[in-house]
Amino acid sequence: MLDLQGYGPRLIEGAGVTVQLAVLSLLLAVALGLLTATAKMSRNWFLHRTATLYTTLIRGVPDLVLMMLLFYGGQIGVNAISDILYYDFEIDLYINFNAFAAGVLTIGFIFGAYMGETFRGAFMAVDNGQIEAGKAYGMSSGLVFRRIRFPQMMRHALPGLSNNWMVLLKTTALVSVIGLTDMVRVAAEASRATHEPFVFLIPVAVAYLLIASVSEWIFARLQKRYDIGFGEH
């Protein structure tokens, strides 16, 4: 059998970190994506430009570079703010900018840009007549969003969303580089210590495939749910 030489519990803990990180970043990315899509479709010149700049810049720079910029730069930024707070307002506050927060923020921020594109396409695919009908019923624009635009948009967004999630899941491996102990970092450390890379790295690769398969199943069920009323199923 597989001999993990005592690294088993740490690997499982690492897998927990990976999953938490991925899910939290996904939530942040979806929220940012919805905001970006709305800003991109708005007639406001400033909002439109800002959203375009955000998606262009993020998609042009490697994730790892952004992550390092935020992680190494974030601590200095936070220190600068706490310095100002201390010297000008005499508030003694030390914030440790931890790797987990940096990971969630960067991954969420990066995938927000991709989600924005996905959601924008999906929002455009919702029939305008539906929205007009909602307005004719006297619904507020918030209610139209919640009851009409969002549920119908999700049907079109789900394939892209599931794609983005798969890429996001694999991107979480990068946090091991900035010092977060996810399963990749544990496996890499164990490989170096024991000189048996395959014993640790291959199970981690399999774990990624497992998580991907489980999420594929979840997305298929969601798709079924949002496809209700559109035949075929």
Partner 1 sequence: MPDISAWFNDLLSGNLIFTPTTLGYYWTGLVTTSQLVFLSLVIGLVMAVPLAIMRSSRRKWISLPVYVYTYVFRGTPLLIQLYIIYYGVVFFDGIQESFFWPIFREAFYPALIAFTLNTAAYTTEIFRGAIKATSKGEIEAARAYGMSQGLMMRRIIIPSAFRRALPAYGNEVIFMLHASAIASVVTLMDLTGAARYVYSRFYTPFEPFLFVALIYLCLTFAILFFFRFLEKKLLAHLKPQTP
Please give the residue ranges that form the binding site for partner 1 (CB under 8 A).
57, 59-66, 68-69, 72-73, 76, 166, 170-174, 176-177, 184, 187-188, 191-192, 197-198, 201-202, 204-205, 208-209, 212
Residue 30, both tokens: 């979806």
Q: Which is nearer to partner 1, 151 or 203 (CB)?
A: 203
Q: For partner 1, which is the closer residue by CB, 72 or 86?
A: 72
At its nearest, how many Å lie between partner 1 and the CB of residue 214? 12
Quick one: tokens of 149?
């635009």
Contacts of 102 (CB under 8 A, 6+ apart): 67, 70, 71, 74, 178
Nearest distance in Å: CB 150, partner 1: 28
Look up tokens 């730069």; give the residue: 73
In angstroms, the CA 99 to CA 113 distance is 21
DSSP-H helix ranges across 42-182: 45-60, 63-89, 99-125, 128-136, 141-144, 150-171
In the bound state with partner 1, the residue whose beta carbon lies nearer, of 24 and 41, is 24
Residue 195 CB, shortest distance to partner 1, in Å, is 8
**Residue nearer to partner 1 on the CB measure, 13 or 189:** 189
Indicate the residue type of 177: V
Shortest Å distance, C-beta 140 to partner 1: 39
- Crossing angle of helices 45-60 and 8-41, in 10° steps, is 150
* Nearer to partner 1 (CB atom), residue 41 or residue 188: 188
Beta carbon of residue 231, minimum distance to partner 1 (angstroms, whole number): 24
